[in-house]
Amino acid sequence: DGGFVLRNVRYDENGTEFRLRPALGSRQFSPPVQRITLNRDHPVENQVVFSDVSSHTVSGAVRFAGTNCFEPDVAIWVDNAVGATSDRNGKFSIVLTEGPHTLRAQRRDHTYRAAFHGDTLGADSVTIDVRAEVRDLVFLNRTAHVVSGRVGGGCERYVGEVSVRFRSENNCLDTTIVGNPEYRINLPPMRYFASATVDRGTIPPSLVRPDVIAFF
């Protein structure tokens, strides 16, 4: 039950000071040392209490699933409270006391899955028995939104093969698709630059090629 008794401790009748220090592996205690004095009038000390304050760092990152894009400003919940927020590089670090803790990521209505020790779990949270430093915790944002549209000229006229490019604002994702005349793509929730180019060799002879190229 965590109690202890030290019997038959010899002391001088006028008083002897002792220093008590608990130790258990790499655990940390508060206070690290307590001083007591035993003498003829005070031969017993019953109020020696140490608190185990051992803690370790749990660190990791938040990333969009299927990409190398990291997500900032994601709240990392520990048990029932926010313990940290991912930085602009998607990284987070939390100091936790020893023992089991449940961690999850939350931002808006996005869907997250935990990945620990390289394995993607089928849940949005993970419970870790913290006994040492944890470095490889990853939360994957599996949210994606549909971007769709049409390419071509007025009155839905075919003007050639048009490629639509989506490049994320932080340059971590760059993808191009061909739309003839429609396109549809699933993208993670980030800010993008969108652009379109036409394949010059596919522009119909009936159109003014420089005008089509200049438009796109």
pLDDT in tens, 161-196: 999 999 999 999 999 999 888 999 999 999 999 999
Neighbours of 37 (CB within 10 A): 11
What would the mean pLDDT of 34-59 be, rounded to a whole number? Answer: 93
pLDDT in tens, 75-129: 999 999 999 999 999 999 999 998 999 999 999 999 999 999 878 878 999 999 9
CA distance 190 to 71: 9
Residue from 16, 19, 20, 18 nearest 4 by CA = 20
